[in-house]
Amino acid sequence: MSNIPDLVSAGLIQPQVALGPMTTYKIGGNAEYFATVNTRAELDRVLTAGVATPITVLGRGSNLLVATGGVAGLVLRLGGVFSEIEVRTDAVHAGAGVSLPVLARTATKEGNRGLEFFVGVPGSVGGAVRMNAGCHGIETRDVLDKALVLDAATGAAVERGATDLELSYRHSNLGVTDIVLSAVFLTTDGDVDEGEQVMRDVTAWRRKHQPGGTHNAGSVFKNPPGDSAGRLIDSAGLKGLRVGGASVSTRHANFIEASEQATPEDVYRLIEIVRTRVADEFGVELIPEIICIGFEEPA
Ligand SMILES: Cc1cc2nc3c(=O)[nH]c(=O)nc-3n(C[C@H](O)[C@H](O)[C@H](O)COP(=O)(O)OP(=O)(O)OC[C@H]3O[C@@H](n4cnc5c(N)ncnc54)[C@H](O)[C@@H]3O)c2cc1C
């Protein structure tokens, strides 16, 4: 980490930056070091300066719970050129930092159909590739042509398709040093008004079924095969269960909401309690979908 003072003076890296405001939970500690990189040259400079281990890439923080103790090492966010979108005839090229709702709206407005479902997922392109984000029966793997992935350990950037990335239900094989830089999504030529109606339907469904206006990170657990995590949590009578400022949503049992008084550890403890109670009641081991960072053991 010897080059850090130089990079701090150059304004490229900041020490001790609060991550909570950059996540949808709005709670959590500091990044030991933080950088928003706006160009490939800035990214390379940060990575080759010997400050790159460990690295955490932060997208839009919509699937993350950060511990009060924060995150060791360097947290990177992709801005600038990584937030650009280019709509072509039957494909959309997007930087990894592009917001998924913006991607959906931009593509649809140009008559490029098939990405409307992304309007309901408040993440980034990079986060969608890593998580194989999806909803309403469509997942990232269904629309991804290829992603450009940089291995921070080797400096090699390689284009990888959905099969190579082993995209499956909320899973990819991306490793800890892999950084998604951009992605190409395949689209079909279609009617703009119809596409906009699809997006309105997606948004209306979400307003009706999910807790709006609260701090959460979407579904906490993956659905077990043939069942729904929300149904199991609800059947176990856990809706409304509280730990400190964290509570199981009364609207959708697979959401855990955090009040302004909540600590990350309240949410983390509630995840563990829900998991244990569902396992005791139904013999089903729920697997967290949200990523908890900085905790001693992953949830
Ligand atoms: C209200 C709400 C509704 C949601 N609904 C859905 C839904 O319907 N379907 C769904 O799938 N998800 C849903 N989510 C979860 C979340 O939006 C998705 O998982 C999304 O893909 C996460 O993207 P992000 O940019 O926020 O990633 P982050 O939360 O910032 O990070 C998630 C993971 O991706 C990694 N990552 C982020 N960017 C990159 C990159 N460029 N390169 C490599 N790794 C990267 C991070 O290191 C971390 O491991 C919802 C969340 C909320 C708050």
Find the distance separating the first CA and the last CA of the chain, reported in whole Å: 29
In the prediction, which pLDDT does 7 show? Answer: 85
Residue type, 63: N
> In this predicted structure, what is the pLDDT of residue 51?
53
pLDDT at residue 59, as a whole number: 98
Q: Which range marks the domain in which residue 288 is found?
A: 229-293
Residue where one domain finishes, among candidates 78, 108, 130? 78
- Within the chain, which residues score under 50 in pLDDT? 1-2, 52
Q: pLDDT value at position 1?
A: 47
Token reading at 195: 């596409």
Domain end residue (candidates: 45, 78, 111)? 78
Q: Are 51 and 14 in contact (CB under 8 A)?
A: no
What's the token pair of residue 239? Answer: 């809706």
How much is the pLDDT for 3?
A: 75
Give the count of domains, the chain: 3
Domain identity same for 99 and 190: yes
> In this structure, is residue 130 part of a structural domain?
yes
0.85 surpassed by pTM: yes
The reply to whether 218 falls in a domain is no
In a domain, 200, yes or no: yes
Catalytic residue list contains 170: yes
In the prediction, which pLDDT does 48 show?
Answer: 78
**β strands within the chain, DSSP E:** 14-18, 30-37, 55-58, 64-66, 71-78, 85-87, 91-95, 112-113, 134-135, 138-139, 144-151, 156-160, 178-186, 188-189, 242-243, 246-248, 256-258, 291-293
Residue 124 a catalytic site member: no
Pocket of ligand 1 (CB under 6 A): 24, 56-64, 78, 96, 120-124, 126-128, 130-131, 133-135, 174, 178-180, 216-218, 291
